[in-house]
Amino acid sequence: MYDFGLRQALSGYRIAYRPQETNHCPGCGKSHWMIGRLTAECAFCGTALPLIAGGASGNGVTRPRTAPALAA
């Protein structure tokens, strides 16, 4: 059911924004980015790349579950 990264290893290198690396834009070659929750956009040409670990960190990502108040 789960491939644990085997499919990704066989599919080759995927262009994505990697937070711990120097990222050069595939469109213009510059390295200034505007980082969002799911994508990073080049500040010069507007090329958007998916974040390699997008959407799973930051403040307010999850909300605590609370039980609904019962009517008295």
Question: Taking Cα atoms as reference points, which of 57, 30, 55 lies closest to residue 43?
Answer: 30
**pTM (two decimals):** 0.59
pLDDT digits (tens, 9 = 90+) for 13-68: 788 999 889 999 999 999 999 999 999 999 999 999 999 875 555 555 566 667 66
Q: Are 40 and 17 in contact (CB under 8 A)?
A: yes
pLDDT value at position 71? 67
- pLDDT of 66: 73
Please give the backbone phi and psi of residue 40, each rounded to the nearest 5 degrees, phi first. Answer: -120, 135
Question: Strand, coil or helix: what is 11?
Answer: helix
